[in-house]
């Protein structure tokens, strides 16, 4: 269920999702798979039961047949055309779907044949087969795109043993083992380069060709290609936690979380099909008991059965969402459920966490303002305390301080407070590095920086010893990305940050944000998103875009949590609903545009399909349309729905 339905009916949590998936698999594995096995064995020759009976039908129609010759001549193409329908009927009965498309078509076909409408009966199966072919062509298209993504999954790894490299299944490789990855091969497991210099292409994972020079000490990810020369990689994660495996798992799970539109179509379907079948029984079996005219009434009943195509599939809604999953995966955007697209399509509010999304998250130190010590001393103290932090502020301080004495690193005890700073013991000496509020909480008064920017204040043994000022660059195309969101129906853009107002305000006004909240602790950010969730419209959604590092709680709170720069971040991989592997901010509006396209196409298919279906039923009931006319119109309707679905393209236009 989608989070946007009601606050109590949120999307299932990740653990719940996995349980649902397991149960579904267990159910599907028996009955379904046997049916599918039979179907897939005739998959390759699927066109045969369409073309052959169509030709035989034309031949039979052209021949001057009389008496018993007529039914016999039409029985041959009918048998060929209905054989796969009958097989599919068997598997739907096994799955307890008694009103499946195939069963309704088969029943209508038998009725038509019994009424002496032989060509109509054959044509029904031929058109049904043709519609199935068109649909499976589209399915294969998405399947192929998906398979291309899933092909990043490695099948073997060369582990360096005592007698040189030996091939092994990636599942059997343990963290700590050394792999040889030759030039031109895919990296099988996540790890760190221990020998060699090469260029790595992350295209399979991030959706964009981005050759990237790496050498000793760099982290590399499974699924990426090693382009130029052989490298040795020390494995850091077991196979099932590696990037390629996680992505493939997410992609496979995503399909089992249906969109609300699909659920709506299914609900409509359960009433619609039952109603039409009841009408068909009344028309074909009950009316003639009183009024006579069996033949014409049975024909009308057949027409009704043809009109009663189950809705969700007929409207191609699952197809549209699956296509969306495949397209966005090809662009390096992985979604944890089909319902995420729907929530993104309905997003009227998009909230950005500033650092790492709107800005590059790469600070550069502009000023060092020490108190009673040298600039170098201040930087060294701060860098020692920040030795283990992954925060962008910490990285900037470490870079500015340069190489630290390695002995220092052994005596550090650190505690990091998200959204505030770090406190550390270096030997006996206590250091605080963080924002003014963080130091104030520890009873230390900070100086007000003379220039705007993000300040990391530093205290040693309870005494203030200065601050380090830094700036972050706005992402190139951030403005275009926000405009892109507005074009796609987002009417409220919100910027949240833990950074100081003086750093955030110029940015917010330059980029036209509608709302800015600065100097927030992570829990304040969660409160702000919660407030927006409480005050949104019934059908609208709130999306949150962050880096997924320390905003997992907010991601879970919003209708959709979108994380940028997920490659290499386990926290982001676990927390977000939509994963943008690289840091291309334009992928946010592009994914929203794609989601809107999927939503719109599904809505058109559903409304158009349902309205035309009801008209067909009405006219079939009144006997205005012959079974032949209903057959042809029902086929044209399916074709129109499928062609409309073809409009879904990667740019969402
Ligand atoms: P943002 O909202 O911009 O993503 P955070 O919530 O991560 O920022 O952090 C808010 C502020 O807390 C930062 O601007 C910084 O001043 C301070 N801060 C957070 N972590 C650290 C750290 N490791 N070292 C120093 N300062 C930090
Ligand atoms: Mg942040």
Mutate to test the pocket of ligand 1, among 453, 499, 545 (most ligand atoms within 8 A of CB): 499
Q: Is pLDDT at 323 greater than 70 in this prediction?
A: yes
Helix (H) or strand (E) holding 529: helix 522-534
Read off the pLDDT of each residue in 389-410 and give the average, rounded to a whole number: 86
> Whose CA is closest to 543, among 562, 564, 525?
562
Atom of ligand 1 minimally distant from the CA of 499: 14
Q: How far, in Å, from the CA of 561 to the mean position of ligand 2?
A: 13
In the chain, what percentage of residues exceed pLDDT 70?
Answer: 92
**Cα–Cα distance for residue pair 334/331, rounded to 1 Å:** 9
Query: DSSP string of 93-105?
Result: HHTT-TT-HHHHH
Note the pLDDT of residue 111. Answer: 92
Q: How far, in Å, from the CA of 551 to the mean position of ligand 2?
A: 7
Of the CATH numbers 3.90.950.10, 3.40.50.720, 3.40.50.1000, 3.10.20.310, which one belongs to the domain with range 333-359+475-594? Answer: 3.40.50.1000
For the record, the structure tokens of 419 come out as: 């959204």
Note the pLDDT of residue 10. Answer: 42
Confidence label for 311 from pLDDT (cuts 50, 70 and 90) = low
**Residue 433 in contact with ligand 1 by CB distance below 6 A:** yes
Q: How far, in Å, from the CA of 589 to the mean position of ligand 1?
A: 26
Note the pLDDT of residue 268. Answer: 84
Q: How far, in Å, from the CA of 389 to the mean position of ligand 1?
A: 11
The distance of Cα 240 from the centroid of its chain, to the nearest Å, equals: 20
pLDDT in tens, 82-99: 999 999 999 999 988 888
**Residue 498 in contact with ligand 1 by CB distance below 6 A:** yes
5-14, 340-349, 370-379 — which is least confidently predicted?
A: 5-14
Under DSSP, the state recorded for 186 is: B
pLDDT in tens, 537-574: 888 999 999 988 888 889 999 999 999 999 888 888 88
Average pLDDT, rounded, for the chain: 87
Strands 492-496 and 164-168, bridge-based pairing: unpaired
Confidence label for 140 from pLDDT (cuts 50, 70 and 90) = confident
Note the pLDDT of residue 313. Answer: 66
Q: Is pLDDT at 12 greater than 70 in this prediction?
A: no
Read off the pLDDT of each residue in 230-238 and give the average, rounded to a whole number: 95
Which of left, alpha, beta for 568 (phi over 0: left; psi -120 to 50: alpha)? left
16-30, 250-264, 308-322, 436-450 — which is least confidently predicted?
A: 16-30
Helix (H) or strand (E) holding 235: strand 231-235
Domain 361-473 bears CATH identifier 3.30.9.80: no
Mutate to test the pocket of ligand 1, among 394, 434, 437 (most ligand atoms within 8 A of CB): 434
58-62, 352-356, 404-408 — which is least confidently predicted?
A: 404-408
**Cα–Cα distance for residue pair 288/221, rounded to 1 Å:** 71
**Residue 353 in contact with ligand 1 by CB distance below 6 A:** yes
Note the pLDDT of residue 42. Answer: 53
The residue contributing the CA closest to ligand 1 atom 14 is 499
Cβ contact 109:120 at 8 Å: no
Note the pLDDT of residue 612. Answer: 87
Show me where the domains of the chain are located: 1-45, 156-188+190-236, 333-359+475-594, 361-473
**Residue 551 in contact with ligand 1 by CB distance below 6 A:** no
Helix (H) or strand (E) holding 285: none
Nearest ligand for residue 552 CA: 2
Atom of ligand 1 minimally distant from the CA of 521: 6
**Cα–Cα distance for residue pair 122/529, rounded to 1 Å:** 59
**Residue 420 in contact with ligand 1 by CB distance below 6 A:** yes
**Cα–Cα distance for residue pair 95/109, rounded to 1 Å:** 22
Environment of ion ligand 2 (residues, CB < 5 A): 353, 355
pLDDT in tens, 486-528: 999 999 999 999 999 988 999 999 999 999 999 999 899 999 9
Examine domains 156-188+190-236 and 333-359+475-594 and report if their fold is the same: no
**Residue 548 in contact with ligand 1 by CB distance below 6 A:** no
**Residue 565 in contact with ligand 1 by CB distance below 6 A:** no
What does residue 296 show for φ and ψ, rounded to 5 degrees?
-65, -35
Query: DSSP string of 130-193?
Result: HHHHHHHHHHHHHHHHHHHHHTTS-S-EEEEETTEEEEE-GGGPPTT-EEEE-TTSB--S-EEE
Work out the angle between the directed axes of helices 294-307 and 260-281 (0-180°, nearest 10).
180
**Residue 354 in contact with ligand 1 by CB distance below 6 A:** yes
**Terminal Cα-to-Cα distance of the chain (whole angstroms):** 27
Read off the pLDDT of each residue in 276-302 and give the average, rounded to a whole number: 88
The CATH code belonging to domain 156-188+190-236 is 2.70.150.10
The residue contributing the CA closest to ligand 1 atom 5 is 419
Atom of ligand 1 minimally distant from the CA of 354: 3
pLDDT in tens, 432-464: 999 999 999 999 999 999 988 899 999 999 999
> How many other β-carbons are positioned within 10 Å of the β-carbon of residue 417?
14
Confidence label for 185 from pLDDT (cuts 50, 70 and 90) = very high
Helix (H) or strand (E) holding 222: none
4-8, 133-137, 352-356 — which is least confidently predicted?
A: 4-8
Note the pLDDT of residue 3. Answer: 45
> Whose CA is closest to 585, among 493, 484, 454, 470?
484
Q: How far, in Å, from the CA of 343 to the mean position of ligand 2?
A: 23
């Amino acid at each position: 269920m989608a989070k946007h339905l009601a606050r109590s009916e949120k999307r299932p949590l990740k653990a719940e999702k996995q349980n649902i998936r397991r149960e579904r698999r267990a159910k599907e594995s028996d009955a379904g798979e046997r049916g599918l096995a039979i179907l897939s064995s005739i998959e390759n020759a699927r066109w045969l039961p369409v073309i052959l009976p169509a030709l035989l039908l034309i031949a039979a129609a052209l021949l001057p047949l009389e008496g018993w010759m007529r039914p016999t001549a039409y029985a041959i193409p009918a048998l060929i055309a209905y054989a796969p329908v009958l097989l599919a009927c068997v598997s739907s009965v096994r799955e307890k779907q008694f009103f499946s498309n195939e069963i309704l078509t088969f029943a209508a076909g038998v009725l038509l044949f019994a009424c002496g409408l032989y060509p109509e009966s054959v044509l029904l199966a031929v058109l049904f087969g043709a519609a199935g072919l068109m649909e499976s062509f589209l399915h294969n298209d998405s399947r192929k795109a998906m398979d291309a993504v899933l092909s990043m999954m490695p099948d073997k790894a060369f582990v360096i043993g005592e007698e040189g490299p030996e091939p092994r299944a990636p599942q059997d490789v343990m963290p700590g083992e050394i792999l040889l990855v030759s030039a031109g091969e895919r990296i099988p497991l996540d790890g760190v380069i221990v020998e060699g210099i090469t260029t790595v292409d992350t295209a399979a994972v991030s959706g964009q060709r981005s050759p990237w020079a790496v050498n000793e000490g760099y982290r590399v990810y499974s699924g990426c290609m090693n382009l130029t020369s052989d490298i040795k990689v020390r494995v850091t994660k077991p196979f099932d936690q590696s990037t390629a495996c996680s992505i493939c798992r997410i992609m496979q799970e995503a399909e089992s979380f249906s969109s609300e539109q699909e659920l709506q179509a299914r609900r409509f379907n359960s009433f619609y099909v039952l109603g039409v079948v009841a009408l068909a029984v009344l028309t074909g079996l009950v009316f003639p008991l009183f009024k006579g005219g069996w033949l014409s009434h049975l024909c009308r009943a057949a027409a009704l059965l043809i009109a009663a195509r189950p809705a969700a599939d007929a409207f191609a809604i699952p197809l549209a969402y699956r296509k969306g999953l495949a397209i966005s995966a090809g662009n390096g955007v992985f979604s944890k459920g089909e319902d995420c697209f729907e929530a993104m399509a309905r997003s009227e509010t998009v909230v950005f966490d500033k650092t790492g999304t709107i800005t590059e998250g790469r600070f550069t130190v502009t000023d060092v303002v020490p108190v009673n010590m040298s600039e170098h001393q201040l930087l060294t103290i701060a860098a020692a305390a920040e030795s283990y932090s992954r925060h962008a502020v910490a990285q900037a301080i470490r870079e500015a301080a340069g190489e630290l004495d390695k002995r220092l690193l052994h005596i550090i005890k650190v505690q990091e407070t998200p959204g505030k700073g770090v406190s550390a013991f270096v030997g006996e000496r206590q250091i605080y590095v963080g924002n003014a509020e963080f130091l104030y909480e520890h009873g230390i008064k900070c100086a007000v920086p003379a220039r705007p920017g993000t300040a990391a204040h530093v205290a040693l043994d309870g005494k203030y010893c200065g601050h380090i000022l830094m700036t972050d660059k706005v992402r190139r195309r951030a403005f275009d990305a926000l405009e892109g969101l507005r074009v796609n129906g987002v009417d409220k853009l919100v910027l949240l940050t833990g950074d100081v107002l003086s750093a955030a305000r110029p940015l917010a006004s330059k980029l036209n944000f509608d709302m800015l909240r600065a100097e927030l602790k992570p829990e304040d950010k969660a409160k702000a998103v919660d407030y927006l969730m409480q005050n949104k419209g019934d059908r609208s959604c709130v999306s949150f875009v962050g880096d997924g590092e320390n905003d997992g709680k907010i991601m879970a709170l919003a209708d959709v949590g979108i994380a940028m720069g997920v490659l290499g971040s386990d926290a982001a991989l676990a927390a977000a609903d939509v994963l943008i592997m690289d840091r291309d901010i334009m992928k946010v509006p592009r994914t929203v545009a794609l989601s809107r396209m999927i939503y719109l196409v599904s809505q058109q298919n559903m409304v158009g399909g349902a309205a035309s279906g009801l008209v067909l039923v009405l006219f079939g009931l009144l006997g205005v349309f012959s079974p032949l006319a209903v057959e042809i119109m029902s086929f044209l309707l399916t074709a129109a729905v499928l062609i409309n679905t073809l409009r879904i393209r990667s740019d969402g236009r």
